[in-house]
C-alpha cells in the first residue's frame, strides 16, 4: 500500500509578507520585522518558536488574517490537526477572498476526513484564483479520497500544467494512475517527481511499488536499497524491500526485512499484514493469525479489511466456519473499496461468502478425519472449496485437505526462476508425510481472459496459442513431477474447469481464443499426465456444456466450483493412467 502524500506547505511565509499590502487593512497589524522573524522560524523548521510568534501575533492583532494563516500552518506542521483546523477556519473568516486560505482549510478538512467540506473550500479557492496550482493539486487529492479517479487525475494534471515544478503533484498523479491500474504511466509520473527532487522519499517508495507491480522486481529492489541509503531508518522502504525479496523467493530475507520495518515502526500496519502473508507461506498459521490481528487492530478501516479476509481463509481451512463468517462480517466494508490493490482480497471475500452459505444451506460440516486417508489438494483458490470433501479414489475413502498457495499459476512453477510460489510448493512437498497422494488444482489462473497464457500470446504474436499453452503445461508437469518423485508422493493432475465468466466482459476478439485455450490446455495436461503415468481428474468435461463454456451445474461463482464438484469428478471423470 502506498504511503499517503505528505501535506503540501499550507503557508508560504515569504509570500505572506509580500502580500500584506494587497490584502487590505482589517485592523492594526504587526510590523514587517515581526513577520520576517516568523517567516525565518517557519522556513528553518523551528515550529515551536514560530508558534510562539504566531500566537502572540493573533493575540495582539486578532483581526489580522495572515497571522491566523501562519498559526494554522505552524500547527499543521506539528500534526496538531484540530488546532490547525480552527486557526485556518478563523483565517478564512477574516480573509474570505484569499484563495490560499481556502485551499489550506480544504487540506485540513481532508486530513480530518471531512471530504465534502474539503472539496467545497478547494473549489472556492479556484473560484477566486483559477490558476492556483496548489489548490488544483489539493482538490485532486480530495477527489482521489472519494474514489473519483478521473476527476482527480484532471485536477492534478491541471496543477502540473500551471506549475510544472510542483513536485508533489507528480507524486499524487502517480498514485491516482496506479489506482486505475495504469502502471507504466504512474511509473513515468513518479520518475518526473524524482527528476525534480532526487531525495523525494515518498516518490521513490511509490516508484518501487509500481515497478514491483509490473514484475520489474530487481529494478524495484534497487530503488528501495537506494532509498535506504538516503534514509537508513525508513520503515516503509524495509517493508517494500521485503516484498521484492518475497517475489524472488528469498523468503528468510523478506521476513527479516518486514521485522526490521516493525522494529523501526512498532505499529506499522502494512508490515504486520505482509509479515502475516509470509508466515502463511511458511505454513506458520498461528503466527500469521497474530500478525493479521495486529494489522486489523491498528487499522480496521484499511489494511485491516484485507487482513480480515485472509483470517477468514485461515479459519475456513481450520474448519471453523462460524469464525470465518465473523471475519467476513468484519471485512464487509471491503465491498465498497475501488482500489485495484484490494482486487484479490475482494474476490476472496465473495468466494468465501458463497462457500459458507453453501455449507449452511446443505447443513454440511467437515467430517472428522479419524482413520480416513488424506488427499492433499494443492492449489490456489480452487483448492479451498475441496477442503474437507470426502472422495473415493481407487476404492479408498479419502478426505481432501487443502494446501493453499494464493495466486499460484502453472507458469510460476514451470519457469526457471525461484519465486515465492515455488518456495511454498517445495515446503509443502517436504512437510507432507512420505508417499502422500496429492491432487494438483493449478492452472485456472493461467487460462483467464485477462492474464496468463492469453496475455503472453498477445505479447509474442510470432508464437501460436497452442505453442505457448503446450510449453506452459510441459514445464509445469516437468517441475511438479520431479518435485513429487523426490519425496515419493503420487500426483493426480487436476484439469481446468470450463469457463463460467460472463463473455460479455471479454473483448470480442478474445472470446474464441479464450474458450479454445481452456479446451486445448486440458488436452495437453491430460496427455502429459497419462504419459507420465499419472491419473488425470477431468474437471473440464464435468463442467463443459458441450460448447466450451460451463454448464452452470458446478460453478459457485465465475471461477470456482462448489465443494461437491470434486466428489462428482472423482466418481465419474477420473482418467486412470495405464500401468
Which residues, other chains included, contact 508 with Cβ-Cβ below 8 Å and sequence gap of 6+? none
Please report whether residue 415 resides in a domain. yes
The stretch 168-196 carries a mean pLDDT of: 94
Please report whether residue 381 resides in a domain. yes
Q: For the packed helices 251-264 and 235-247, what is the interaxial angle rounded to 10 degrees?
A: 170
The stretch 425-452 carries a mean pLDDT of: 95
Q: How confident is the model at residue 380 (pLDDT cuts 50, 70, 90)?
A: very high
C-alpha cell at 381: 483458490
Residue 414 has pLDDT above 60, yes or no: yes
Q: How confident is the model at residue 73 (pLDDT cuts 50, 70, 90)?
A: confident
Cβ atoms of 93 and 70 within 8 Å: the answer is no
Q: How confident is the model at residue 22 (pLDDT cuts 50, 70, 90)?
A: very low
- Mean pLDDT lowest among 23-37, 173-187, 318-332: 23-37
Q: How confident is the model at residue 283 (pLDDT cuts 50, 70, 90)?
A: confident
The stretch 9-20 carries a mean pLDDT of: 45
Mean model confidence pLDDT for the chain: 88
Please report whether residue 315 resides in a domain. no
Cβ atoms of 74 and 47 within 8 Å: the answer is yes
Q: How confident is the model at residue 381 (pLDDT cuts 50, 70, 90)?
A: very high
Please report whether residue 160 resides in a domain. no
Ranges assigned E (strand) in 405-525? 437-441, 490-494
Residue 318 has pLDDT above 60, yes or no: yes
Q: Name which of 453, 450, 461, 477 is nearest 533 in CA terms.
A: 477
**Confidence at residue 193, expressed as pLDDT on a 0 to 100 scale:** 96
Query: What is the model's pTM?
Result: 0.72
Q: Tell me which of 479 and 15 has the higher pLDDT.
A: 479
pLDDT digits 0-9 by tens, 101-142: 888 887 888 877 888 888 888 888 888 989 989 999 989 988
C-alpha cell at 20: 500584506
Domains of the chain: total: 1
**Confidence at residue 61, expressed as pLDDT on a 0 to 100 scale:** 81
pLDDT digits 0-9 by tens, 241-265: 999 998 888 999 999 999 999 999 9
Q: Tell me which of 59 and 484 has the higher pLDDT.
A: 484
CATH of the domain at 449: 3.40.50.1110
**Confidence at residue 526, expressed as pLDDT on a 0 to 100 scale:** 97
Which residue in the block uniquely carries the three cell numbers 488424506?
374
- Expressed as residue numbers, the domain containing 493 is 373-575
Please report whether residue 228 resides in a domain. no
The string over 69-94, giving b where at least 16 C-beta atoms fall within 10 Å of a residue's C-beta and e elsewhere, is bbbbbbbbbeebeeebbbbbbbbbeb
C-alpha cell at 420: 515465492
Question: Residue 374: helix, strand or coil by DSSP?
Answer: strand
Please report whether residue 337 resides in a domain. no
Question: Residue 402: helix, strand or coil by DSSP?
Answer: strand
**Confidence at residue 26, expressed as pLDDT on a 0 to 100 scale:** 40
Please report whether residue 386 resides in a domain. yes
Please report whether residue 513 resides in a domain. yes
Q: How confident is the model at residue 579 (pLDDT cuts 50, 70, 90)?
A: low
Amino acid at each position: 500500500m502506498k504511503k499517503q502524500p505528505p501535506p503540501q506547505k499550507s503557508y508560504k511565509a515569504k509570500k505572506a509578507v509580500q502580500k500584506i499590502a494587497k490584502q487590505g487593512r482589517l485592523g492594526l497589524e504587526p510590523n514587517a520585522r515581526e513577520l520576517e522573524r516568523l517567516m525565518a522560524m517557519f522556513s528553518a523548521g523551528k515550529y515551536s518558536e514560530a508558534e510562539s510568534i504566531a500566537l502572540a501575533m493573533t493575540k495582539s492583532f486578532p483581526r489580522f488574517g495572515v497571522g491566523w494563516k501562519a498559526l494554522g500552518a505552524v500547527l499543521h506542521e506539528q500534526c496538531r490537526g484540530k488546532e490547525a483546523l480552527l486557526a485556518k477556519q478563523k483565517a478564512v473568516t477574516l480573509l474570505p477572498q484569499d484563495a490560499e486560505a481556502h485551499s489550506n482549510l480544504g487540506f485540513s478538512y481532508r486530513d480530518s476526513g471531512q471530504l465534502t467540506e474539503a472539496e467545497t473550500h478547494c473549489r472556492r479557492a479556484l473560484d477566486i484564483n483559477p490558476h492556483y496550482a496548489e489548490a488544483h493539486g489539493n482538490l485532486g487529492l480530495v477527489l482521489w479520497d472519494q474514489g473519483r479517479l478521473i476527476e482527480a487525475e484532471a485536477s492534478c494534471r491541471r496543477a502540473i500544467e500551471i506549475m510544472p515544478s510542483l513536485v508533489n503533484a507528480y507524486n499524487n498523479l502517480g498514485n491516482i494512475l496506479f489506482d486505475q491500474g495504469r502502471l507504466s504511466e504512474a511509473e513515468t509520473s513518479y520518475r518526473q517527481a524524482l527528476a525534480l527532487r532526487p531525495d523525494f522519499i515518498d516518490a521513490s517508495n511509490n516508484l518501487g511499488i509500481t515497478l514491483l507491480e509490473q514484475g520489474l522486481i530487481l529494478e524495484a529492489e534497487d530503488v528501495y536499497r537506494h532509498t535506504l541509503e538516503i534514509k537508513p531508518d525508513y520503515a516503509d522502504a524495509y517493508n517494500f524491500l521485503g516484498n521484492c525479496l518475497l517475489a524472488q523467493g528469498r523468503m528468510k530475507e523478506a521476513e527479516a526485512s518486514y521485522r526490521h520495518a516493525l522494529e523501526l515502526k512498532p505499529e506499522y500496519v502494512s508490515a504486520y499484514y505482509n509479515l502475516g502473508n509470509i508466515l502463511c507461506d511458511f505454513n506458520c498459521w498461528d503466527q500469521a493469525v497474530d500478525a493479521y490481528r495486529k494489522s486489523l487492530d491498528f487499522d480496521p478501516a484499511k489494511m485491516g479489511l484485507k487482513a480480515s479476509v485472509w483470517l477468514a481463509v485461515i479459519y475456513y481451512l481450520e474448519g471453523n466456519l462460524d469464525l470465518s463468517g465473523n471475519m467476513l462480517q468484519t471485512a464487509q466494508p471491503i465491498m465498497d473499496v475501488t482500489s485495484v490493490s484490494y482486487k484479490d482480497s475482494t474476490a476472496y471475500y465473495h468466494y468465501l461468502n458463497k462457500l459458507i452459505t453453501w455449507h449452511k444451506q446443505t447443513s454440511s460440516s467437515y467430517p472428522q478425519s479419524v482413520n480416513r486417508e488424506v488427499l492433499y489438494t494443492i492449489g490456489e483458490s480452487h483448492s479451498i472449496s475441496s477442503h474437507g470433501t470426502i472422495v473415493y479414489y481407487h476404492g479408498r475413502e479419502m478426505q481432501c485437505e487443502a494446501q493453499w498457495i494464493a495466486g499460484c499459476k502453472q507458469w510460476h512453477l514451470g519457469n526457471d526462476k525461484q519465486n515465492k510460489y515455488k518456495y511454498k510448493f517445495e515446503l509443502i512437498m517436504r512437510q507432507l508425510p512420505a508417499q502422500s497422494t496429492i491432487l494438483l488444482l493449478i492452472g485456472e489462473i493461467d487460462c483467464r481472459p485477462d492474464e496468463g497464457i492469453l496475455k503472453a500470446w498477445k505479447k509474442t504474436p510470432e508464437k501460436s496459442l497452442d505453442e505457448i499453452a503446450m510449453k506452459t503445461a510441459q514445464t509445469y508437469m516437468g517441475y511438479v513431477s520431479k518435485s513429487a518423485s523426490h519425496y515419493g508422493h503420487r500426483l493426480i493432475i487436476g484439469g481446468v474447469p470450463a469457463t463460467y465468466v460472463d463473455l460479455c466482459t471479454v473483448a470480442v476478439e478474445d472470446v474464441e481464443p479464450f474458450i479454445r485455450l481452456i479446451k486445448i490446455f486440458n488436452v495437453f495436461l491430460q496427455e502429459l499426465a497419462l504419459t507420465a503415468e499419472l491419473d488425470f481428474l477431468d474437471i473440464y468435461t464435468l463442467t463443459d456444456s458441450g460448447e466450451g463454456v460451463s454448464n452452470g451445474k458446478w460453478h459457485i461463482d465465475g471461477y470456482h466450483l462448489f465443494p461437491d464438484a470434486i466428489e462428482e469428478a472423482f466418481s465419474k471423470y477420473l482418467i486412470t493412467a495405464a500401468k
